[in-house]
Structure 1
Amino acid sequence: MTLKDSILGLLIVFLWGINFVVIAWGLEGMPPLLMGACRFLLVALIGSLFIKPPDMPWQWLWAYALTLGFGQFAFLFSAMAFGMPAGLASLVLQSQALFTLLFAALLLKEGITPLQLLAMLIAGFGLYLVGAGASGAAMTFSGFILTLAAAMCWGLGNIVNRTINNRGYQANLGLVIWSAWIPPVPFLLASYYFEGGGAIQEALVNIQFSTIAALLYLAIAATIVGYSLWSYLLGRYPAARISPLTLAVPVVGLAAAAYFLDEVITRQQGLGIALVMFGLLLNLAGRRLMRGVKSLVFSKAHK
């Protein structure tokens, strides 16, 4: 990667890592489901002014919007409203990689290699330690479970994304922007049912500048700018070279949450975090590492 593109990659990691702290700030002045509706409405209103609609049937926009849009963020925002710390949310959400493997095996009939299975077991045990280590910490069990549900929706959305590409369409920034018109509807319906009309009215009438700033960050910086840069890098480099950047997002998320929100983690959760990160890294790069080791052993054996 060039120096400029490397800097852009680091900018993406920073934007998406800080994103979790900004969500926590936004939730201080707005209920989670209403905030989800406002976030996606802003993405659609602003992004559609600059990005062309994707050339694909509308059912794929719905499938993408209801999994990666409504499902993922309804659970994530609710999780953080119900006691999931921002830093740990950034980590647990990365379990989407494990759910993607499971859904690919179940829905696309893709095989799971022994190395991938080992990675899933290591990361899964790490997630167990994170969840079980909540005793005496700020994290709630309901927040942890809701974050896992968000990761499941992300994993299912990855299958939708892959299916879109396999059918000859492009799952690009246009899909992200124009599918954003759909989630505000279920978000508002769910907000009215679970949060109540009174809470919606109060949040909108008494909206604070900090809430507006958080929504603008989530819509413009984290979504439009972040995904624009991501699409740019994917267009210049192989996906295998770009995707490891996402492993740095929880690192930034945990550090930002510690600095801005004074979040702390227990020793057991720290061990769990290390195992989750190792499992995700093994899943991502383990096969290339094994090939490198075999190649090295083979070359030494023939000297």
Structure 2
Amino acid sequence: MPARDFFLVFLICLAWAGNFLTSKLALQEFPPLLFTALRLMLLAALLAAFLRPPPKGQWPRLIAVAMCNAVLHFGLSFWSLKLSSTLASPAILMQSYVPMASLLAWWLLGERFHWRTGMAIALSFAGVLVLGFDPSVLQNPAALGLMLVSAFFIALGSVLMRDLRGFDLVNQQGWTSVIGIAPLLLWSAAGEHDLLASIRQASWVAWLGVGYAAIIASLVGHGLYFRLVQRHPVAQVTPYLLIAPLIATVLGIVFLHDRVGPRLWLGGAMVLGGVLVIGLRNLAKARPAAPVEP
């Protein structure tokens, strides 16, 4: 990739890593499901004027994708982030959706993968186990469990999105947000308390977190990502995005004084190393085979 596109990759990683920090601060005032709903409401309002009716026959899959990605993935991931004592563990664990997606594509779509990819999947899951025994994670193991379930749903949503036809980035994000608002509000009302009070009493820091999540992380981050994958194969871009959890870890250490222990570093390296190998294997498959000289 040219230097300009490498700079765009860095901006994407910075936008997504910063989302962990600003959301963590906002979640000190907002319940996680309400925070997720507010993010979707703002994003839907920003994109409402650009939405077009979904193509015929796409509604069932679109609803399934929205429930997986917008409701279950985001709702559970912000819940995990609220409970976690560091930014590092949720940022790294979220990347486990990559090996999960490979397994789901094999199971649901019949896609095959090389034994090296299988070893990388095993390495990532072994890294989750190592990371899970870090003292900062053991303080609240529910955060680890919630993020793993969240990663499963984004992996499932990613597989379902492969057959979603007739959507550009704006319409996909917009409709996903619109569909996800009502289920999240109902879920929040059923399981969270003092919702109106938290909205009335929220500081500018909390509302900044909502705005950052919707505008910077979603619109800017995903917009730049969509621009990159129009120029380069997805498999060529995704390995560089592993910089995001590393930046998030540094942000947690610098601004929140997170203590990242050796098990978290080792487990994180195993998770991200496995994801990197999977990405490089996908890149190798995406490249056309060299012509054979006669």
Same structural fold, with TM-score higher than 0.5 when normalized by the shorter chain: yes
Q: Tell me the equivalent position of 2:67.
A: 66
1:23-73 CA distance string (max 9 Å, x none): 101101110111011000101001223465554622232112101111101
CA distance in 2, matches of 1:258, 1:113: 37
Q: Deviations over 1:265-297 (max 9, x none)?
A: 11122111111121111111147679x9xx9xx
Separation of aligned partners in 1, 2:265 and 2:217 = 27
Matched, 1:145 2:145: yes
Change (3 A) 1:244 1:171: farther
Q: Which of the numbers 161, 184, 188 marks the counterpart of 1:187?
A: 184
Counterpart of 1:283 in structure 2 is: 278
Q: Which amino acid aligns with 2:128?
A: L
Distance in 2 (CA, whole Å) between partners of 1:98 and 1:121 is 8
The answer to whether structure 1 residue 49 and structure 2 residue 49 are counterparts is yes
Distance 1:41 1:15 in 2: 20
The percentage of aligned residue pairs carrying the same residue is 25
TM-score normalised according to structure 2 size: 0.91
> Partner of 2:243: helix, strand, or coil?
helix
1:276 to 1:137, Cα distance in 2 relative to 1, 3 A: closer
Q: 1:279 to 1:200 in 2, by over 3 A?
A: same
C-alpha contact 2:89 2:137 (8 A) present in aligned 1: no
Q: 1:257 to 1:14 in 2, by over 3 A?
A: same
SS in 2 for 1:48: helix
> CA RMSD, aligned part only?
2.2
Deviation at residue 80 of structure 1 after TM alignment: 1.7
The answer as to whether partners of 1:137 and 1:265 remain within 8 angstroms in 2 is: no
Instruction: State the one-letter code of the partner of 2:232.
Output: Y
Partner of 2:11: 11
Q: Distance in 2 between matches of 1:282 and 1:3?
A: 23
Instruction: Calculate the TM-score normalised by the size of structure 1.
Output: 0.88
1:2 is matched with which residue?
Answer: 2
Residue 256 (structure 1) aligned with residue 251 (structure 2): yes
Deviation track 1:158-203 (CA, whole Å, cap 9, x = no partner) reads: 1111122xxx43463320122210111111111111113xx10111
Task: Note if contact 1:119-1:279 (Cα within 8 Å) is conserved in structure 2.
Answer: yes
8 Å Cα contact 2:13/2:243 also seen in 1: yes
Q: Distance in 1 between matches of 2:177 and 2:35?
A: 14
The answer to whether the 8 A contact 2:68-2:153 is kept is yes
**How do residues 1-303 of structure 1 correspond to structure 2 at under 5 angstroms?**
1-50=1-50, 52=52, 55=55, 57-83=58-84, 85-133=86-134, 135=135, 139-164=139-164, 168-170=165-167, 172-196=169-193, 199-286=194-281
Q: Distance in 2 between matches of 1:245 and 1:137?
A: 26
Name stretches of at least 5 consecutive residues in structure 1 with no aligned partner: 296-303
1:299 aligned partner: none
State how far apart, in whole Å, the 2-side matches of 1:288 and 1:93 are.
21
CA contact (8 A) 1:85 1:139 kept: no
CA positional deviation for 1:245 = 2.4
1:148 Cα deviation after fit = 0.3
Deviates more, 1:220-229 or 1:241-250: 241-250
Partners of 1:230 and 1:288 in 2: CA distance: 17
CA distance in 1, matches of 2:207, 2:69: 23
Q: Which runs of 5+ in 2 are unaligned?
A: none
The answer to whether the 8 A contact 1:115-1:287 is kept is no
Equivalent residues of 2:86, 2:259 under 8 A apart: no
